[in-house]
Amino acid sequence: MALIRAILSRLAGTAVTLIGVAVIVFVVIRVVPGNPIAMMLPPGATEDDIARLTARYGFDKSIPEQFVIWAQGVFQGDFGTSITARQPVLDLVLGRLPATLELSLLALAIAVTAGGTMAVLGTLWRGTPAEGAVDVAAGMSLSVPDFLWGLVLILLFGVIWPVFQISGRVSPALDLPFTTNFYLIESVLRLRFDITRDLLAHMILPSLALAIPLAAIIAQLLKQSLKEVMHLDYATLARTKGYSETHVILREALPNAILPTLTLVGVQFTFLIGGTVIIERLFSYEGLGNMAIDAVINRDLPLIQGIVILFAVLFTAVNLMVDLTYAALNPRLRHG
Amino acid sequence: MRLNRRAMLQLSAAGAALGVASLPARAQAIEELVIAYNVTLPSWDPTVGPSAVNPTIQGIYQSVFDQFILQQPDLTPAPGLLTDWGWNEDRTQVWMDVRTGVSWHDGSDFTPADVVWSLERAGAEETGNPIQFIWSTIGNFTVDGNRITADVLRFEPTIFKWMYFLTGYVLPKDYYERVGADGFESAPVGTGPYMVDGFERNAFVRLRANANYWNGVPEFETVTIRFVPDAASRVAEIESGNSHVTLEMPYEEYDRLRSGSLTGTATPVSDIGMIFLNDIDVMLDPNVRMAAALAIDKQTIIDRLLSGYGVAIDTLETPDYIAFDPGVTVPYDPDRAMELLAESGYSPDNPVRFTIQTTRGFKPKDYEMIQAIVGLWRRVGIEAEIEVYEIAKHYELRAADDLAPAAFYNWGNSVADPSTGTGFAMFGPTPHSVWDGQDLVDMIAPLWAEADEEARIQGWKDVDRYVADNALVIPLLQYVQPVLSAPGVNVVPHRSGALLPHLMTRA
């Protein structure tokens, strides 16, 4: 019951957050410099032409009026029409969302696997030079930003040793018999592993670039937590029972040490999604982030609003899931 | 799970297999041409919306759609879907002869009705064609066989030039009316050299050669244009062999890569860099303006910052524009600049001060060029403060006539006519002009409707001379477009800057 109350409370808070984001974004992108009408003025435009264009896109009304019109549309599922693509914003952003989600989730999986492995190895080898090597690797991974990792990966695996694709999401020549834009998931479900392989060859470098800094954070935090619990009584008891050090770490220490890491991963995952904006651009990956940059350059206000709100929904949803997972795993919260 | 040496080896082998399976075909003969393009394609209709007037994507449009009149790589017109055209004697009517034997990508016949419909649609206010003000100058179309005749509603001497310029495309009447705007967006049909085979927004467009193309079947059967906006990624694309052709990379990278196995072409294109001067504050002083112009060593800036890739210009006309006058020059003369400033009471110890606005990274070395210019100005007694802004802000400020006294910008004019260069840039009443002096407005106004072509061009040359003599704008350089191509493909550069796959051949 307490959990349900907590969920309802969080959902209400999420709604308020999204409304706040919508208002702020709507106002901010209209007051910052860069008028979309000025960008599309024809060479010989007269005052009448400018007024007509302004009215055509609804920019002749006050910002509150524009917001009310936009909000009414949103409640009916209409997020407006992109100025540059001349397509419904909702179709555009939902069409690109699966690409970004798949990339982010793959990056998360790599980060958790790599970071977790580094933490376990660092704990296993604690007090030895190998632990120092793990710490140095984590420190280096963390101190280099994701876009720089992207450039390094392009150079290494795209140019010097060209084993992976460095742009796009899938080879243009492939015929995709899919009904959704979750290409990776659907290719697996349809057993089209040729497409899965092609998708992974495109996704591996951008997801690695996103994953490396997060893996380092996970490694550092989880190793610290593991080292702390390895001194506790139940770990000592397990050792005295004759269990191996690996068993003690994985079976006894890890379940207790993982909670703080889980919270951090949730928070960091939202940053990882934010990082897709630059990484998708760098790898010409057809996701929301790449689209967001074009929208900002072209001052495509309806599209910017749609993308930002979708990102906000993603962030709040991830945070909500983290909280619920934390509550489910933490007995003190689970029982109120 | 225990990570042992065997498991690590297995993982490594799997990773290598995954990668090798998708290796780019670097050394193989080119079957499918891949081009790493520098911009994305937001919309397929080349006649409406902001994309229609974006010069950088015209090459993609021209691969799928034909313009009314063909523009050759040297910017001169040639028979296209219109085989001949002209005015009647008193210039009250235009006539156009339409090519026969052309078919649309869907197999239907191209007819004069398509041309009439395209022109009427372009001229209608409700369509949203940004160049409607030009297309609406002709109307009341009649068709007799393959000849179309129309009344001149307002004489526009450049109407036929616009037929191979922005939004001057012929679209299929029947198909468009049948499928509507959304249907056309998802399945565009043209008469151009390539047909759209696949399109992923922000990712790629896949083109298939039009086997019935009236101007010869393109050599490459399949062309994929990848949208790679990041310059470093484009360099990696061509260097890795993932793409066969790319354009617009830093000149240093261009020099490095073309000295290897790649072929480079660097051609001056119809795009210039300039400094707008606003008729406010200290810019109202002709001595300050002229000193600012004389103090810039354009050639040195091109040599040092752009590795020599650029052509110094002294008017808004490049050497390949029809109103270019080699007799109009503004030499680098810092001594004269100091004299002029001294006449107005300024010196290096008592400099004239103003703000110069510039983008940073929008054009090659734009900010660095302005930094160099500010340094040169400082030597003669001009202290300029640099303000960096986004290109969107530039457009907003320019439309509102709120630019700083000096502002860097670039101007494309692939039709090479002075009206679309000097005209729109310097005619006060247009939203793109910055200098609003009435004397210049009076000089330019009669030229818009000048029917005598020789007099019209001479008129624009006079305007250019007046602009240079009074330093109403500071032209800097004509840009050079670097293109890199892999062994096995020949690229024919187009002076408009459009990278056209149907002009590419196997080496």
User: Does the CB of B18 have a partner CB in chain A at under 8 Å?
Assistant: yes
Q: A residues 49-88 near B, CB within 8 Å?
A: 49-50, 52, 56, 82-87
Which of A86, A168, A297 is nearest residue B185 as measured by Cβ atoms?
A86
Structure confidence by residue, pLDDT tens digits, A245-259: 888 888 888 888 888
B100: how many CB neighbours lie within 10 A of its CB? 13
Nearest CB partner across the interface for A162, out of B182, B240, B429? B240
Contact predicate B498/B67, CB 8 Å: no
Angle of helix A63-75 versus helix A2-31 axis, rounded to 10: 140
Average pLDDT of chain A, as a whole number: 87
Helices A193-229 and A146-154: angle between axes, nearest 10 degrees: 130
- Which residue from B16, B22, B228 is facing A167, i.e. has the nearest CB? B228
- Interface probe for B, chosen from A29, A41, A110, A245 (most Cβ of B below 10 Å), is A41
How many residue pairs from chains A and B have C-beta atoms closer than 8 A? 192
For A:184-243, CB contacts with B below 8 A are 197-198, 200-202, 204
Q: Decide which of A2 and A173 is more confident.
A: A173
Residues from chain B that touch A87, judged by Cβ atoms under 8 A, are: 43, 182, 185
pLDDT tens track for B223-262:
999 999 999 999 999 999 999 999 999 999 999 999 888 9
For the whole model, what pTM was predicted?
Answer: 0.87
Output the pLDDT for position A208: 96
Give residues 411 to 440 of B whose Cβ lies within 8 Å of A.
420, 424, 429-432
Which residue of chain A is at minimal alpha-carbon distance from B20? A163
Burial class (CB in 10 A: 0-12, 13-18, 19+), A171: middle
Which chain A residues are within 8 Å of B125, Cβ to Cβ? 52
d(CA B217, CA B237): 27
Model confidence at A153: pLDDT above 60 = yes
Q: Is the ipTM of this complex over 0.85?
A: no
Query: Using the beta-carbon criterion (under 8 Å), do B201 and A92 form an inter-chain contact?
Result: yes
CA–CA separation, B493 vs B74, rounded Å?
9
For B24-63, the pLDDT digits (tens) are 444 457 889 999 999 999 899 999 988 888 888 999 999 9
- C-alpha A45/C-alpha B425 separation (Å) is 12
For residues B62 and B252, the answer to whether their CB atoms sit within 8 Å is: no
The answer to whether B308 faces chain A, any CB pair under 8 Å, is no
